[in-house]
């Protein structure tokens, strides 16, 4: 249990760090997504340390000065890759401090940590946080607290290791590219592995905090699930003798989500692909192109995410009335902060709404009633609350979805209200429920239990088969101008029925995108939104 | 750089044009975050004098050109921190700039030349 170490012990410690790093080499390689995802971080760090050890072997290890010089020289010359260069600076920082003392005690070691951070940060104009730089800095800050105590050398490394590990786990929060890939920083991981190796050597027993770092492995799997095709590519192709199936066949293997639709004497094409250039090349050989649009879907995804975050901070509270777990989830993911349980048969009271409005931290609150009977109740809240309360008169859940999508945080409140109100008028909604008693619809008798198709609040269709009623209801709602049909189903709809409904819709409206979600809403087997 | 050049991403795209300035900006951002690079310098200055100036605009120290077949060529003029492996820093920089520019523009980067014009002690 050493209070001090001799300079020559440094070799032992580096060797300890090296061997543990080597154990994790390929794991670290796999984590490498930043700055360039070339999968060589572990290898580079190993090679850098190897070069140091080679240089040390050549030097006279009895002489402190030549030993330190050998380490610095080995680190400088042997530095490989970005992580290697940073590592070389960290090691240089340690050595510069060690050089000044005959023996190394905890005070010297703590100073050396600080110096390592100073030297490492000096070599970069704009340090990127969430990398090994962050990890070493956090570790250095943690050991600084031991400065006024007499502690063992190993205690310093223990504290450093714990903080380095915690810091490593935070790297995805600091560096978005890590989070997207679902990994922790590779260089930071390497650093943790080295400190762990050093501590194991000091304590002469194997330390394994890395085994607690199971996270990266789990995260690695997520990484593979990222977008397969990056670009959403759309264009209109005009020309003589164009054939839809011909073009479809040619584009089939270029990506997925392919749609080729006839417009007036032209073909409209939509495809998700990694090679928009190839697709466009192919298309130009058949005709002339117009209205080309290429979107990076990864960016779109991120934009959406950051929009949600910004929305949460934007100072506008959003309260919605809903029931059904699935629907609540979606509403929350779109920025609704508070949800009041309620719907068709259980209208919430003004007091219940008021409670949630008051519960929002912001002084401006938007209410989405999502039912025509609740709009009036919501209006009362305006007079009951000291806050500025606005009602977007949504009469169903899909309208709420559209309104929320239209909300942009950095726009003025008035503009947002206008956009949201416009958005709800654009979405068409159909609902399917069962007749609770015998009744008459459009002069026809409908028995209890039969399915009713509702559009614009009117019962437009009825029948015994959910699939048939859905299909006929869709015919009444969907037009060529629409592009998206969303089904929210509840637990009463069987998997078989879902499959058939989706299949029917796809057959009937091949040019529309079809999405299905479990809304979990009571009473309505299906809520259908068409945009 | 003479006449301002512009380049289309793909002949047929027509509407998508990426100006050299944009590429320079991307390269500059990547360079400033590259470890070991402490500054960009104006290539027209004699070597060493760049050390006197610190607040350079991103585009300074970067030349962008296009080859006949729309490939990008980039030149970077940099100051490196003393005590780091120059060659390795330059190699990392080349990789990073190539990666970032290609990732953002879909253009092929044919060449990135790095000129180390000084060392910051």
Does residue A25 register a pLDDT over 80? Answer: yes
Residue A328 near residue A397 (C-beta atoms within 8 A): no
Q: Which CATH superfamily is domain A231-296 in?
A: ACT domain (3.30.70.260)
In chain A, residues with a C-beta closer than 8 Å to the C-beta of B28 are none
pLDDT at B53: 40
Average pLDDT of the segment spanning A4-31: 87
Among A169-178, A365-374, A506-515, B86-95, the least confident range: A506-515
Among A308-317, A353-362, B3-12, B28-37, the least confident range: B3-12
Average pLDDT of the segment spanning A105-124: 93
Per the CB < 8 Å rule, is B35 touching A88? no
Task: Band the pLDDT of A281: cuts 50, 70, 90.
Answer: confident
- Here the tokens at position A331 are 């509403």
Residue from the list A85, A88, A289 with its beta carbon closest to the beta carbon of B92: A85
Tell me the domain boundaries of chain A: 4-223, 231-296, 314-426, 428-530
Per the CB < 8 Å rule, is B95 touching A36? yes
Q: Closest Cα to residue B119, out of B74, B75, B76, B85?
A: B85
Q: Specify which residues A255 forms β-bridges with.
A: A273
Per the CB < 8 Å rule, is B88 touching A123? no
Per the CB < 8 Å rule, is A123 touching B33? no
Per the CB < 8 Å rule, is B39 touching A88? no
Question: Which residue in the block uniquely carries the two structure tokens 């000096």?
Answer: A122
pLDDT at A323: 85
Stretch 15-54 of chain B: residues touching chain A, C-beta under 8 Å: 15-16, 30, 32-39
The fold of the B7-120 domain, in CATH, is Alpha-Beta Plaits (3.30.70)
pLDDT at A380: 85
Same fold? A231-296, A314-426: no
Best mutation target, A37, A82, A227, to test chain B (most B CBs within 10 A): A82
pLDDT at A49: 95
CA A448 from centre of chain: 46
Per the CB < 8 Å rule, is A124 touching B38? yes
Was domain A428-530 assigned CATH 3.30.70?
Answer: no
Rounded CA separation A481/A270 (Å) = 15
Average pLDDT of the segment spanning A504-517: 85
pLDDT at A411: 75
Class (C level, CATH) for A314-426: alpha beta
Reading chain B (121 residues) residue by residue, the pLDDT tens digits are: 333 444 444 445 456 677 888 888 889 888 888 999 988 887 665 544 444 444 445 567 888 988 888 789 999 998 888 888 899 999 999 999 999 998 888 888 999 999 998 888 7
Nearest-Cα distance to chain A for B10, in Å, is 7
Was domain A4-223 assigned CATH 1.25.40.340?
Answer: yes
Reported ipTM: 0.71
* Angle formed at CA B51 by CA B49 and CA B55, multiple of 5 degrees: 115
Give pLDDT tens digits for A165-213.
Answer: 999 989 989 998 888 777 889 999 999 999 999 999 998 877 666 544 4
Residue from the list A84, A128, A276 with its beta carbon closest to the beta carbon of B33: A128
Q: Closest Cα to residue A444, out of A454, A459, A431, A455?
A: A459
Residues contacting A378, CB < 8 A, separation 6+: A321, A350, A353, A367, A369, A391
Rounded CA separation A124/A250 (Å) = 49
């Amino acid at each position: 249990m050493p209070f001090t170490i001799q300079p020559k012990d440094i070799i032992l410690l580096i060797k300890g760090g090296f061997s543990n790093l080597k154990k994790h080499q390929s794991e670290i390689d796999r984590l490498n997504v930043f700055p360039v995802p070339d999968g060589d971080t572990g290898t580079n760090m190993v090679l850098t340390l190897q070069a140091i050890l080679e240089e040390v072997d050549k030097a006279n290890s009895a002489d402190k000065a030549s030993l330190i010089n050998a380490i610095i020289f080995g680190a400088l010359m042997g530095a490989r890759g970005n992580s290697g260069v940073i590592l070389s600076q960290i090691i240089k920082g340690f050595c510069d401090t060690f050089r000044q003392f005959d023996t190394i005690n905890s005070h010297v070691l703590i100073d050396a940590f600080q110096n390592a951070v100073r030297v490492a940060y000096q070599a970069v104009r704009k340090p990127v946080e969430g990398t090994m730089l962050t990890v070493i800095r956090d570790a250095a800050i943690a050991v600084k607290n031991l400065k006024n105590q007499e502690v063992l050398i190993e205690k310093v490394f223990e504290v450093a290791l714990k903080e380095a590990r915690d810091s490593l786990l935070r790297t995805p929060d600091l560096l978005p590219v890590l989070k997207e890939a679902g990994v922790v920083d590779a260089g930071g991981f390497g650093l943790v592995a080295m400190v762990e190796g050093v501590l194991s050597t000091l304590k002469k027993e194997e330390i394994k905090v890395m085994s607690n770092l199971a996270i990266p492995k789990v995260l690695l799997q997520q990484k593979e699930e990222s977008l397969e095709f990056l670009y959403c590519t759309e264009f209109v192709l005009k020309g003589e003798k164009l054939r839809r199936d011909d073009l479809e066949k040619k584009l089939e293997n270029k990506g997925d989500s392919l749609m080729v639709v006839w417009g007036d004497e032209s073909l409209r094409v939509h495809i998700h692909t990694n090679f928009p250039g190839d697709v466009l090349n192919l298309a130009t050989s058949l005709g002339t192109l117009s209205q080309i649009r290429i979107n990076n879907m990864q960016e779109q995804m991120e934009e959406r995410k950051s929009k949600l975050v910004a929305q949460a901070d934007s100072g506008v509270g959003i309260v919605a009335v809903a029931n059904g777990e699935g629907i609540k989830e979606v509403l929350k993911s779109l920025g609704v902060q508070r949800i009041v349980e309620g719907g068709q048969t259980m209208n919430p009271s003004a007091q219940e709404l008021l409670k949630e409005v008051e519960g929002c931290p912001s002084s401006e609150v938007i209410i989405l009633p999502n039912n025509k009977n609740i709009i009036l109740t919501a209006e009362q809240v305006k007079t009951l609350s000291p806050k500025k309360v606005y009602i977007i008169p949504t009469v169903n859940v899909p309208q709420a979805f559209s309104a929320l999508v239209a909300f942009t945080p950095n726009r003025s409140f008035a503009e947002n209200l206008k956009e949201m109100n416009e958005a709800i008028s654009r979405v068409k909604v159909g609902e399917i429920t069962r007749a609770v008693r015998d009744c008459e619809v459009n002069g026809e008798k409908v028995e209890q239990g039969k399915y009713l198709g509702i559009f614009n609040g009117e019962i437009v269709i009825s029948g015994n088969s959910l699939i048939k009623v859905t299909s006929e209801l869709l015919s009444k709602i969907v037009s060529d101008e629409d592009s998206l049909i969303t089904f929210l189903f509840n637990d009463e709809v069987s998997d078989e029925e879902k499959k058939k409904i989706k299949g029917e819709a796809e057959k009937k409206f091949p040019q529309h995108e079809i999405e299905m979600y479990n809304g979990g809403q009571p009473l309505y087997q299906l809520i259908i939104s068409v945009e | 750089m003479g006449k301002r050049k512009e380049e289309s991403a793909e002949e047929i795209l027509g509407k998508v044009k990426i100006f050299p300035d944009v590429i320079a900006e991307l390269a500059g951002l990547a360079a400033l975050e590259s470890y070991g690079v402490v500054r960009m310098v104006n290539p027209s200055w004699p070597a060493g004098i760049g050390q006197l100036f610190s607040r350079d605009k991103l585009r300074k120290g970067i030349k962008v050109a296009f080859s006949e077949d729309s490939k990008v060529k980039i030149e970077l003029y940099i100051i490196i921190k003393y005590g780091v492996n120059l060659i390795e820093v330059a190699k990392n920089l080349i990789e990073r700039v190539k990666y970032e520019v290609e990732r953002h523009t879909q253009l092929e980067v044919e060449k990135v030349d790095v000129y180390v014009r000084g060392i910051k002690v």
